[in-house]
Amino acid sequence: MQWQRAARKAQAEGRPLPDLPDLAPLSINLDLTTACNYACDHCIDWDILNSKVRHEDQELRDSLQRMAERGLRSVILIGGGEPTLYPGFAAIVEFCKGLGLSVAVVSNGSRGDRLLAAAPFFTEGDWIRLSLDSGSNEVFRRMHNPSSRTLSLDEICSWMPRIKAANPAVQLGFSYVITWKGGSRGDVKIVENIHEMVMAAKRASDAQFDYISFKPFLERQQDGAEVMDPAKSEAELQAVIARIQQNLAEARVVVRPGFRVLASTNLRVLMAGTWRDYTRQPKVCHMQMLRQVVTPLGTFNCPAHRGVEKAQLGGKELWQVPAAAQHATARLLQGFDASHECREVTCLYNSTNWWLEELVEADAPLPQAAPADEQRDWFL
């Protein structure tokens, strides 16, 4: 915030901008690979899957080490492909934990053996979340189209007790993207799954997951941004919301004590009818300094713009050379107009960005220390 204030003052006075502090983001989404063994009808990253571009393992480790030396605190091994297909998946988890980082994994669950191999390296607060989106094997296979002809939801869930036995500290989540008739990815019609929400919650509870998280289907618009387009008319939207609310209520009844049935921020604002409020963004996205996305295709400012050229900071090796990374981050902080580029994005960090914007614009001195005790949850 101090740099933002100094940069705006310099810009107003026609002076060169000050150098951005030698800091890495607090958190990154790390796409280990673009390879995927599914062909999900609702995949938001469909256009960038299975490219021939790859990380070089040592370069990736060097980048992670340099980022950790400059303030990186957490890594989420996630999309753009299936992270467990990376040949050194468990070794990268071990390496990140050796750097003292919090580590999380978002996986399709198809390689339970590799998740089990990585399980011993996780520590308290780390988590694994599986994108399963169904309660039955039939809907699972229709939605995800796995390359294996025998892979089933039953098989994936059978790995959870073994992972819990190997490391009770790691939190296991069942991720459920809610889809309904009328949704599409381009010309591909989406398989509806609202009717399986309760079944999925019961399955997740029985399989020793710690929670199930429900979220609405997102579409990628022509400029590359991930957006929520709930229904074609207000009447359709209200009917969808009523069905979701009914299934959420029933899901909370059928699970074991202590199991959590969660509604994501996007789902909560959709049900409250306030989701459009979260599309009014400040001009500067402050979160792009705190959270970035590193992929084989390059480094980007936000998961909602993964693979989008105008949101690219640099190549996949950007953070091997911190000065270059600082310059690229400063460039996007000044030049990426979130009020325009994210005008249809229901941003999870909307309120945080506005709060930070108010701090930058305020006349009061900024505090030198954090105003409250650190919660030590570094996942952003």
Distance in angstroms (rounded) separating the CA atoms of residues 280 and 338: 9
pLDDT reported for residue 321: 80
- Strongest mean pLDDT among 185-189, 236-240, 359-363: 359-363
Residue 87 identity: P
Which sequence spans correspond to the domains of the chain? 2-361
CB 201 within 8 A of CB 225: no
Q: Are 294 and 28 in contact (CB under 8 A)?
A: yes
Q: How far apart are CA 113 and CA 262, in angstroms?
A: 27
Instruction: Write the single-letter amino acid at 9.
Output: K
Q: pTM, whole model, 2 decimals?
A: 0.91
> Is 50:35 a contact under the CB 8 Å cutoff?
yes
Residue scoring higher pLDDT (152 or 374): 152
Q: Identify the burial level of 88 via C-beta atoms within 10 angstroms of its C-beta, where 0-12 means exposed, 13-18 middle and 19 or more buried.
A: middle
pLDDT, tens digit, 9 for 90 and up, residues 272-330: 888 888 899 999 999 999 999 999 999 999 988 888 899 999 999 999 887 889 999 99
What's the CA gap between 356 and 4, in Å, rounded? 10
Tell me which of 348 and 367 has the higher pLDDT.
348
**Three-class DSSP category at 162:** helix
Cα(129)–Cα(103) distance, integer angstroms:
12
**Residue-level pLDDT at 127:** 98
3 state SS of 195: helix
The answer to whether residue 209 scores a pLDDT higher than 80 is yes
State residue 48's pLDDT score.
Answer: 74
Pairing of strands 188-189, 211-216: unpaired
Start-to-end CA distance of the chain, whole Å, equals: 18
pLDDT of residue 307: 85
At 327 the three-state DSSP class reads helix
pLDDT digits (tens, 9 = 90+) for 107-145: 999 999 999 999 999 999 999 999 999 999 999 999 999
Calculate the CA dihedral of residues 234, 144, 140, 302 and round it to 10 degrees. -60
**pLDDT in the model for residue 379:** 86
Predicted local distance difference test score (pLDDT) of residue 244: 94
**pLDDT confidence of residue 147:** 92
Residues with Cβ within 8 Å of residue 178, at least 6 apart in sequence: 193, 194, 197, 214, 215, 216, 217, 244, 267
Out of 35-39, 112-116, 158-162, least confident range = 35-39
Judged against a pLDDT cut of 90, whether residue 40 lies above it is answered with no
332-364 tens-digit pLDDT: 999 999 999 998 888 889 999 999 999 999 988
Helix axes 197-206, 234-254, angle to 10 degrees: 30
Q: How far apart are CA 84 and CA 179, in angstroms?
A: 25
- Higher confidence at residue 191 or residue 112? 112
pLDDT at residue 185 tops 60:
no
Is residue 51 very low, low, confident or very high in pLDDT (cuts 50, 70, 90)? Answer: confident
Residue 184 pLDDT = 54
pLDDT-derived band at 188, boundaries 50, 70, 90: low
Lowest mean pLDDT of 224-228, 231-235, 260-264, name the range.
224-228
**pLDDT surpassing 80 at residue 230:** no
Determine the CATH number of domain 2-361. 3.20.20.70
Tell me: pLDDT of 370 over 60: no
- Residue 234 is predicted with a pLDDT of 66
Q: How many helices (H) and strands (E) does the chain have?
A: 14, 14
Sign of CA dihedral 177, 182, 187, 190: positive
pLDDT reported for residue 374 = 55
pLDDT confidence of residue 166: 98
